[in-house]
Amino acid sequence: MEKFELHILGCGSALPTTRHFSTSQVLNVREKLFMIDCGEGTQIQLRKTRLKFSRLNHVFISHLHGDHCFGLLGLISTFGLLGRTADLHVHAPKGAEQLFAPMLEFFCNHLPYNVFFREFETNEPKMIYADRSLTVTTIPLRHRLPCCGFLFKEKQRPNHIIREMVDFYKVPVYELNRIKNGADYVTPEGEVVPNAKLTRPAAPARSYAYCSDTIYMEQIVDQIKGVDLLFHEATFAQADLPRAKETFHTTAEQAGRIALAAGVKQLVIGHFSARYEDESVLLKEASAVFPHTILAKEMLCVDI
């Protein structure tokens, strides 16, 4: 099966600690790299993964708080120093270009490549990227400023041809695309050969949902229902629920409730508050509601 991997580069929240880097992730889809958020230290962490910088052409920024975007300028500058020539597309909420354009003009005014800001609204789901194998749709969230998550979904691939059966029935080459897409084959004698005899199903399409930062929102459940992997922020423990509400964040228990209601296959929690020196309390709370929960940590790679 081709790659669909999540790499955690940083899983801390706004206050820096020696334990965690600021939020950033990379999704590797068939060797195409998609960055999700870009906090301080992201480019250092990216180097540690040994993923190829040249395969990263799209960066998705959830919102314009510094712990999710302060690393972007440095990353863009480093790409220039490396002699990058391919375009870089930054997908971010409205206002990102106005914020970053002056800094790029000052610090990166002789880049050998183009940076394009693809801005979007955050009040309703919108498909903001698509290629032959993948779509990316925004997930509206509620935070202290416009914010959204992202739903990455593979497109279902056509069925696989069973070569021995195609040869047995002498199927012409020009019929193969129709058969891959579910059509039966009719022989010159009029015999109908069912598609199930000629093909086997492709592997199910995979999906990943990223939700950070947000207050507890049951409204997202329908959109993320059944995803293979959900990353949901779990900034606070339930004992700090008043602080979570005040800062528009989620507790670990609430993240577990979202995963349970959505019927996801696995939950990763992250965006940990600096107040917790041992995040096992957060894992315990989320796992009590949704057992298939793991803690995010730097350099964690999850095969989806």
pLDDT one-digit tens code per residue, 133-169 = 999 999 999 999 999 999 999 999 889 999 999 888 8
Residue ranges of the chain that CATH labels 3.60.15.10: 4-157+203-303
Can you give the pLDDT at residue 151? 98
Among this protein's residues, is 278 annotated catalytic?
A: no
Of 266, 262, 255, the closest CA to residue 289 belongs to 255
* pLDDT of 63 higher than 90: yes
Find the mean pLDDT for residues 170-176: 90
Q: Global pTM?
A: 0.93
Q: Please calculate the CA angle 266-32-39 and round it to the nearest 5 degrees.
A: 70
- Name the residue with tokens 């995040």: 279
Distances (CA, A) of 68 to 98, 180, 247: 17, 42, 16
Buried/exposed 92-102: b ≥16 CB within 10 Å, e otherwise: bbeebeeebee
Can you give the pLDDT at residue 169? 86
Return the CATH class of domain 4-157+203-303: alpha beta
Q: Of all residues in the chain, what percent carry a pLDDT higher than 70?
A: 100
Whole-angstrom distance, CA of residue 24 vs CA of residue 131:
23
Centroid of chain to Cα 117: 18
Catalytic residue among 67, 131, 184, 213: 67
Contact 126, 152 (CB under 8 A): no
Can you give the pLDDT at residue 16? 85
Can you give the pLDDT at residue 29? 97
* pLDDT of 10 higher than 80: yes
Of 142, 98, 137, 97, the closest CA to residue 123 belongs to 142
Tens-place pLDDT, residues 122-136: 999 999 999 999 999
* pLDDT of 1 higher than 90: no
CA torsion sign for 67, 73, 76, 78 is negative
Average pLDDT over all residues of the chain? 96
| Structure tokens belonging to residue 103 | 């800094």
Dihedral of CA atoms 273, 279, 282, 286 in degrees, nearest 10, equals: 120
Of 166, 227, 153, the closest CA to residue 200 belongs to 166
Tens-place pLDDT, residues 204-261: 999 999 999 999 999 999 999 999 999 999 999 999 999 999 999 999 999 999 999 9
User: Any residues with CB less than 8 A from the CB of 158 and at least 6 apart, and which?
Assistant: 177, 180, 181, 202
Find the mean pLDDT for residues 31-54: 96
